[in-house]
Amino acid sequence: MRKALIRRGRRWLYVVHRWIGIATCLLFAMWFISGLVMMYVAFPRLTDAERLSALPAIAWSKVQVSPDRAMAIAAMEHYPRDLRLSMMNDTPVYRIAGWKGAAVTVSAVDGGVVDRISPDQALAIAARHPHAVHPQLLDTVTRDQWSVTARFDPLRPLYLIGLGDAAGTELYVSSRSGEIALDTTRQERVWNWLGSIPHWIYPTVLRKDGPLWRDVVLWISGVCLVVAVTGFWIGVLRLRLRRRYASGAISPYRGWMAWHHIAGLIGGVFVFTWMFSGWLSLNPGGAFSGRGVMREIAAGYSGHDTPDIVAGFRAAPSAQAVEAHYVWIGGRPLVMLDDSNGHRGLADPVTGVPVVVSRDEIIAAARRAMPGASLISARQLDEPDAYWYTLHHKRELPVLRIAFDDPARTWLHISPVTAEILDRSDDSRRSYRWLFNALHSLDFPLLLSFWPARDVVVWLLSAVGTIVSISGVVIGWRRLRRRKVRPVRSAPSAIERQIRSV
């Protein structure tokens, strides 16, 4: 009975892997090849540096509405998540984002709410971009491949404007607020059809429904995970290192089957961990905590929750400032001033005099951000480490890491220059760093420290995975063709008889 159960179990193991594998090997091949493209061309997004470079210097003399008045006009009940002053073409405006997703743009000249701009205004905004040659309105977009995610919803519809430059840059300007929401280049658009779009199963028709897209990708990757596990299991069962097959080979297969068997054994662990980490990236069951700084932490760190701030200066400490963020830190009102090159400095919002927030002030504010928890350590990182490093996104250094003993073991990463909280991390996010980032992107500290070691390893393992996938496609195609040509079951081959006898 025991032998019969083992024999039946192995048969089903082969059947499951064979038929699900035929349906999924094309997906595996697509993922390996598109993943290599993604290493060098990311999905289009508007970085802070790109956004700031397209803003003109703030015309302080035109600012007639104070920040607290702008918040009152926006009907903010608490101090907002973001309050910044910048130019919309030649008009200074406050851009106010609440904690529940609401976003309001208020004119700093007359206090009017900006909720619609014309195509001509959008073209004037685009003309300020450093790459603008001959801006031209291409379309009015509700949702397309590059603006498909829900984070663009408050800004829709979007004016699509071509800049006429050699790179084929296209801007998406919000018809509601006049903000530049996104930029893409011809190279990004072309390569992403070979990279992120197939890799994430990201066609607009599916991705526009976020929950549906997530469920589809979870199920597809879950099925592929079963294929990876069963394939590696079969590969181990069919491998003979000591009592070899009659021909002296360690594998009973020949041709494409042999490639599939041996490459699967070599790269099997990588294929499994890669599929498993990709599945975890969708956070099944909410296993990992969310990203970003929660409102409670931000409010505690600011030491102020009333929607007001006093600001009286009309001349910036630096005439090159293109954006001003009004903030509170430890109960102290401050303004962060950015220039078009991304340089940031702090100033007093009343006098405009540059200020410096001391390390002691930052630590005191951080303590208030985590009431009920004790501070464990506060140290400055001058070099990257396993949890603060640059790969896909640039990380600021030096940075203060302040750790607490709350149940989640929270870390706050804070800029010693601007005193802003750059990142929040807890045990859950740090586990995600290893279970997803390390296993999926191979951003292990040792590989990152020796360039291009990581790229070489990823290319080699991806090549093995591609061989496994392509050989599986060929094997599956041949099997399907045989079944089509010979519907009547033929006698089993010698190899099949050998497999069944095990």
**DSSP assignment, residue 90?**
T
DSSP H or E segment with residue 293: none
pTM value > 0.85? yes
pLDDT, residue 499, reads 45
Q: Are 396 and 411 in contact (CB under 8 A)?
A: no
Q: Are 168 and 185 in contact (CB under 8 A)?
A: yes
Contacts of 344 (CB under 8 A, 6+ apart): 336, 337, 338, 417, 418
For the chain, the domains span 1-43+188-289+466-502
CA 376 to chain centre: 30
Asked whether the bond before 398 is cis by omega within 30 degrees of 0, the reply is: yes
pLDDT, residue 496, reads 52
Beta strands in 43-135 (DSSP E): 82-88, 91-97, 103-107, 113-114
pLDDT, residue 461, reads 93
**DSSP assignment, residue 493?**
P
3-class secondary structure, 49: helix
How far CA 4 is from CA of 7, 16, 234, 271, 456, in Å, comes to 5, 18, 18, 31, 46
Name the token pair of 174: 């919000």
Tens-digit pLDDT string for the chain (502 aa) = 777 777 777 777 777 888 888 888 889 999 999 999 999 999 999 999 999 999 999 999 899 999 999 999 999 999 999 999 999 999 999 999 998 878 999 999 999 999 999 999 999 999 999 999 999 999 999 999 999 999 999 999 999 999 999 999 999 999 999 999 999 999 999 999 999 999 999 999 999 999 999 999 999 999 999 888 888 888 888 888 888 887 778 888 888 888 888 888 888 889 899 999 999 999 988 888 888 889 999 999 999 999 998 887 665 666 689 999 999 999 999 999 999 988 899 999 988 889 999 999 999 999 999 998 999 999 999 999 999 998 877 899 999 999 999 999 999 999 999 999 999 999 999 999 999 999 999 999 999 888 899 999 999 999 999 999 998 888 888 877 776 665 545 555 554 554 454 4
Compute the distance between CA of residue 66 and CA of residue 35 in angstroms, rounded to an integer: 49
What is the number of other CB atoms lying within 10 angstroms of the CB of residue 213? 20
Which ranges of 39-133 would DSSP assign to H, the alpha helix?
Answer: 48-53, 67-73, 119-126
Name the token pair of 255: 């041709």
Of 378, 375, 380, give the one whose Cα is nearest residue 405: 375
pLDDT, residue 267, reads 87
pLDDT, residue 488, reads 47
